[in-house]
Amino acid sequence: MTSKLERARNAVKNMKERSDEAVSNAVTSAVTVAAAGGMAYANVRFGDDDRLKVAGIDADLAGGLLFHALGFAGLGQARSGRAQMGSAVMHALGNGLLSCYAVNKAMEIAVNAGYQGAGTGAAGRRQMPGRQPNYMHQNIYARASAEGRV
């Protein structure tokens, strides 16, 4: 039979494990969203034609792949026994950057598919009353128009 003290120790141990998992999930979610938002800002603020490039490759794609490689290699591991957390943060950064790349690429594909006939979705809308223009969307459309794709 287990004593009350042993049960109490086990309960505290289980709570600690659950709280560590909750903190890990919260941190990786926050890092993913921050990476995607930060990269989107960097694309518009510093990129040519709304895309930041490194050696001719979209920076969000290159960075996402790099952070995933670092996570798989275990280079983000902390020395305090939270090896999984460091790796998870590297993968979260990679996920955020790849998410930004996917959104940019999907927007570009939608615009190139035909701005005029795209329907009532965001890619097909012209400036509607009371709606703020999407800076990146306008530049993608301007590029497509200049190249005769729409």
Most distant CA pair in the chain: distance in Å? Answer: 80
Q: Is 123:110 a contact under the CB 8 Å cutoff? A: yes
* Whether this model's pTM surpasses 0.75: no
Task: Answer with the residue of higher pLDDT: 62 or 3.
Answer: 62
Query: Which among 111, 104, 112, 108 is positioned nearest to 60, based on CA atoms?
Result: 104
Say which residues have a Cβ less than 8 Å from residue 52's Cβ, sequence separation at least 6. Answer: 39, 42, 43, 46, 58, 59, 60
| Averaged pLDDT score across all residues of the chain | 76
Nearest residue to 124 (alpha-carbon basis) of 109, 138, 110, 106: 110
pLDDT (0 to 100) of residue 72:
87
Q: Can you tell me the distance from the alpha carbon of 113 to that of 31, in angstroms, rounded to the nearest whole number?
A: 33
pLDDT in tens, 42-76: 888 887 776 888 888 899 999 999 999 988 887 76
pLDDT at 93: 93
